[in-house]
Structure 1
């Protein structure tokens, strides 16, 4: 059946290729609005068609072989100028479209958002979205989520040392945040405490972070938000482009290198990337934490067609990640004096394979977006050469959305989604049962725009079926097995109003749904990476979320910013907790006995509310003071105590200077403070407070011109004072690994300076 579906897609592609519609073109000129001089190097993008180009020395640009119908957003960006977004109607074959850009000392909210049901300008999108560019992702982060957590208010991370970061949005993590790459939901067994996401941090051209429920489009598991990872757009016909980037970090010896090439030959498009990272054990202010190094390799590519009927891209990737763990007992020394890049046991060996077929077919005046995916995630946890735990997860997915043409300000989208997971245990120890999971969903969505107002409404139905398999080991039942199914109808409302160019308002309200995952339903064993014994509960009910948020965005030449508030009530919130004295002794393969805290899955009613925003001052055209802040208050209403694992409030302050220096382009120097408040709202049954702390950061960079070639160089420093601190969401802080010995904690990373270069290539 899977092969038949894929065959039908290729037949559809072939049909459109043989009987093409008339092709449309867009061409024009990008100029300075004040001087009328051409602007060379401006980026012009058609995000809906995954195509982009750059203006030449005369400011000219062109797109060829475009669909001959439909309305699309054209986005034009250039450093130092206000971005422009225009809507174009491709009913005419040859469209001339010029852009006059205005110099601006501030970033603009005029950005195109693709991760929602209708691609639109940010100001007309009710969802709270932060868009992070590739330039902003470059720094001294150790992985993609680490980089995002430094940039996006309301986004935090659960960390296990330097190699593992799990996203947390507005206090919600694990299976409540969806990560999307190549149009496909990333399936890497997100239920695990120390299971990160298997995405190359060099891969994105930009990342969209959707804060708040996005279940209408992404289904169960998106009640906290979505991280939408976007690859570089393909260049216009006749172009070959690429990039080379490399960096080195002093704290952990992290070397990070990546090479990418992409091209377009008369509509045949391709892309290839290779990346490699390697780090030894990271250094804390108290010493180097043993066996905390990691290395990963990533190879990815794309082959496809960009034609007047739309596009069809086949993406493929392979990522291999090795992460070390320090097998210490309370009282053992935590720090070593070694910079060896060889990982000792125990360690993780993670491999992620993915195929994704992304299509967008122009059918009449509407369009059909169809994404098919296959993923294999293999996670080996090794105490020696033979894996102890070995999870092998295979996921097949389908997502289809049909968008009708806009009429009288109305836009309608209808869609279906389906996924099937098949998980096997191939190790010698067991934590969760082998399982099969089926998810089905269908939705309808409508958006109305009139004047400066936008209103949207949607309805979705979800069905989830879980089957955990029974398992006996030496005549003793390890897993009882389970069968259950869940269904739900959820809805969403959204509204935006643009008061002026400097002020706009957006608000949302709705319900969302998350079915319990197989780990929550059926765990029964030692999770080596978390040093605990987990016990599931097959009688868990689905979570139901009721939430609302509102955001006010403002911007002028001197002051810009935003302020947002949100509330999220979750009925039957699922989480694992332990009580003092609840332990279990297990005899390991080595014959030694080990005692673990027992964590049992249960349910409570929870309420989370908070505030997030930014306030930025642009005192002169070369002096910028940027400030972001976020705070989440979470309460376990059932037991009248704080909810566990909630990030501390944080304020980020950054002073950035951009003086004009002869011979240097886009020169900057920055200094920043990360101010984390004390987190004493904890679940005292298994958490300890985290003290407040302030980190000093700095950066410097510029763009050099080597003939016609640009070369970006930068240095970024974090924790310059080598501050001793424990992050509230670090799994290595006191009390997280052992209840009995709260001194068993590992400080976060000390002083770190990263030196990097970025070389964009234009080969043809």
Structure 2
């Protein structure tokens, strides 16, 4: 095909060329006048080298990044099934998820999650309630075209919380000049009846472009072999996104607005002691009463009982990039509103007990100097301001104001076979936790009185830290390469760690924060050896991550030697709970990933991808029962054999069949103390997939994908699932709720293409 790019400022660029069924090409080019280039792609079902935009001075070839970066492409989303955007990442080596049912997933990179992973969407860090166990990522999975996972401390570019790494979610490129493009996506999944639809359309006329998307998703309760249908596990989403902007030779300006609206049940796993069936609450004239969950409601799409959540996230991003001098100046501003409401008390009917409202303003200013003698340099400042309100009747964390400022510089020098990169950053965070007074009925009041309760004592915390990184890549031969990187990360305590005082919803724990906590700091070393040619590629990554002042909750013991119990007066339906206080220590994490991809050039319809990931996470100076960090992913081996099917005339193209096996090893390195975690047996899941493009008149009419996960309907519990520790089924003796059973996903994508 023939392609043109207009209105590009003069400078050096890394251009990437890709097409389904062919190996991508990345090439550095200089643009100062009209330039013509020819690229010839070789047939391949494997991406050998890609362009990475996450965490560096400028776009970089994947092989020239000193830190391991995984890429999940659009075709990976299409050819697999997922229940949310983080679930779609879980096949990437070194990436896992803490789950609370199919709708709530929190990303974990190399054993670290929550506020130690930064999620970037639309160019700014996604800010919701990352500290909570029952909060997922507020991103429409259908709106994402590509994800880059930076596995290692990325505080240098993204500031506090990027200690484990960054997940950068990228939308599809704008429509080509003079075209209107889009697609209609439809998805149905058999296990929980998930029905998803997404409509996208956008256009580009003389550099002015627009793009809009609307997505809807709904699902009833999911099922597995042991539990049957799981009560209150359904959910629904309504999301939209719109972008307008223009591209000129001096630069570009883009404005994006989006909204994520999700309603979901909260899985408690409470059971009837006699039958083992799930129970729920109903409201009678005499008050709330527990009953066995009615069978006719498990498969309802519109039924949400008393205990449920409503999560709404609005976002506005203004992204600008202009040619200034011989370099490029980027200015990106964002505003986010996060509403998180939870009804969990049958005694108050439809009122929301928890109602968090968070406003975030993001700013990011960066100047990229013109490349000279293969030396790249960028400097910048970024951060955010936050204001949190608690509009509920249950109080866990104080209202707060926060301000972040970070100043950084990142550089890279390239030679013929060798590249050296690194940078330095200074961060400062101001956190103000506000006072809260309640009356004798635990109702918020404006100030102290003779009988008031001082629920939260106001405090001011000031954190600062230095982040730094230095890394190198070296091409030993045209096929062999090596990488090494040393990075220092930084993370300030979150609001729960510094200010909580109450029962953490969704858990049976009373949590107490400490405003005197220090910022965490880490020192991580990464090493990589790899080999790549047209027939085979493999890579081995290893890391050691030492964390000082690691923050974790420690159980308190009373004078009688038993659990210290506390009663939260704002939650009438919960008994006194074991008390945990956030403290600090030191931790060390070690592990890595190995990837082997066999893709013979002479048999370009065949590829065999294998990966192994492991992480060991230990708290230093702890007893055997408490030395392992909780929610550490088990070792995982994954293999997938993919066959390209022969073309059938001009109708079926890019057809494939694949079979994959995921084996999760037993996780016996657990936090035994206080009964927090138990050993999780290993398990193996087998998956199948098939798909094709259906063409007419040399154009793709639609693409069709079928993916069957867990085809043998294995009943299993992931040690990363919080549902593993819910009630015991007295009939079977099994503890907790099991993960999703067999699920078959049907997906159809119909492209929309018009030319002016």
TM norm structure 2 = 0.90
- Partner of 1:293 in structure 2? 234
Deviation of residue 742 (structure 1)? 9.6
Deviation of residue 205 (structure 1)? 1.1
Measure, in 1, the Cα distance between the counterparts of 2:377 and 2:727. 48
Q: Where does 1:254-293 land on structure 2 (aligned, <5 Å)?
A: 254-286=194-226, 287-293=228-234
5+ residue gaps, structure 1, are: 1-58
State whether residues 331 and 744 of structure 1, in contact with CA within 8 Å, keep that contact through their aligned partners in structure 2: no
Measure, in 2, the Cα distance between the counterparts of 1:399 and 1:442. 10
SS of match in other structure, 1:234: coil
5+ residue gaps, structure 2, are: 279-292, 440-451, 557-561
- Partner of 1:427 in structure 2? 392
Query: Could you give the per-residue CA deviations for residues 459-500 of structure 1, whole angstroms, max 9, x where no partner exists?
Result: 110001111011111111211122110111221101011234
- Partner of 1:754 in structure 2? 745
Deviation of residue 315 (structure 1)? 0.6
1:174 aligns with 2:114: yes
- Partner of 1:655 in structure 2? 641
State whether residues 734 and 742 of structure 1, in contact with CA within 8 Å, keep that contact through their aligned partners in structure 2: no
- Partner of 1:505 in structure 2? 482
Aligned CA distance change for structure 1 residues 113 and 586 (closer, same or farther; 3 Å): closer
Measure, in 2, the Cα distance between the counterparts of 1:754 and 1:360. 40
- Partner of 1:594 in structure 2? 575
State whether residues 234 and 265 of structure 2, in contact with CA within 8 Å, keep that contact through their aligned partners in structure 1: yes
- Partner of 1:709 in structure 2? 700
Deviation of residue 261 (structure 1)? 1.0
Deviation of residue 528 (structure 1)? 2.3
Deviation of residue 438 (structure 1)? 0.8
State whether residues 271 and 727 of structure 2, in contact with CA within 8 Å, keep that contact through their aligned partners in structure 1: no
Deviation of residue 592 (structure 1)? 4.4
- Partner of 2:604 in structure 1? 621
- Partner of 1:34 in structure 2? none
SS of match in other structure, 2:232: coil
Measure, in 2, the Cα distance between the counterparts of 1:698 and 1:593. 44
State whether residues 630 and 650 of structure 1, in contact with CA within 8 Å, keep that contact through their aligned partners in structure 2: yes
Aligned CA distance change for structure 1 residues 326 and 444 (closer, same or farther; 3 Å): closer
Query: Could you give the per-residue CA deviations for residues 75-111 of structure 1, whole angstroms, max 9, x where no partner exists?
Result: 111223221112221112x111111222335331243
1:242 aligns with 2:182: yes
SS of match in other structure, 2:233: coil
Measure, in 2, the Cα distance between the counterparts of 1:541 and 1:737. 39
- Partner of 1:18 in structure 2? none
- Bigger RCO of structures 1 and 2 (CA < 8 A, at least 6 apart): 2
Measure, in 1, the Cα distance between the counterparts of 2:532 and 2:56. 24
State whether residues 587 and 593 of structure 1, in contact with CA within 8 Å, keep that contact through their aligned partners in structure 2: no
State whether residues 304 and 314 of structure 1, in contact with CA within 8 Å, keep that contact through their aligned partners in structure 2: yes
SS of match in other structure, 2:353: strand
Measure, in 2, the Cα distance between the counterparts of 1:581 and 1:225. 36
Deviation of residue 266 (structure 1)? 1.0
Measure, in 2, the Cα distance between the counterparts of 1:706 and 1:256. 26
Deviation of residue 586 (structure 1)? 4.0
- Partner of 1:730 in structure 2? 721
1:90 aligns with 2:26: no
State whether residues 55 and 154 of structure 2, in contact with CA within 8 Å, keep that contact through their aligned partners in structure 1: no
Deviation of residue 358 (structure 1)? 0.7
SS of match in other structure, 1:217: helix
State whether residues 696 and 719 of structure 1, in contact with CA within 8 Å, keep that contact through their aligned partners in structure 2: yes
- Partner of 1:66 in structure 2? 8
Deviation of residue 312 (structure 1)? 0.6
Aligned CA distance change for structure 1 residues 106 and 135 (closer, same or farther; 3 Å): closer
- Partner of 1:380 in structure 2? 341
- Partner of 2:89 in structure 1? 148
- Partner of 1:666 in structure 2? 654
- Partner of 1:339 in structure 2? 299
1:584 counterpart (540, 558, 566): 566
Q: Provide the aligned C-alpha RMSD in A.
A: 1.9
Measure, in 2, the Cα distance between the counterparts of 1:191 and 1:348. 16
State whether residues 290 and 334 of structure 1, in contact with CA within 8 Å, keep that contact through their aligned partners in structure 2: no
State whether residues 328 and 334 of structure 1, in contact with CA within 8 Å, keep that contact through their aligned partners in structure 2: no
2:468 counterpart (491, 511, 514): 491
TM norm structure 1 = 0.89
Measure, in 1, the Cα distance between the counterparts of 2:172 and 2:727. 39
SS of match in other structure, 1:99: coil
1:349 aligns with 2:310: yes
Aligned CA distance change for structure 1 residues 167 and 334 (closer, same or farther; 3 Å): farther
Measure, in 2, the Cα distance between the counterparts of 1:71 and 1:159. 43
State whether residues 7 and 251 of structure 2, in contact with CA within 8 Å, keep that contact through their aligned partners in structure 1: no
- Partner of 2:290 in structure 1? none
Deviation of residue 746 (structure 1)? 0.4
State whether residues 659 and 688 of structure 2, in contact with CA within 8 Å, keep that contact through their aligned partners in structure 1: yes
State whether residues 381 and 528 of structure 1, in contact with CA within 8 Å, keep that contact through their aligned partners in structure 2: no
Q: What is the number of equivalent residue pairs in this alignment?
A: 700
SS of match in other structure, 1:521: helix
Deviation of residue 229 (structure 1)? 0.6
1:440 counterpart (405, 417, 420): 405
Aligned CA distance change for structure 1 residues 504 and 760 (closer, same or farther; 3 Å): farther
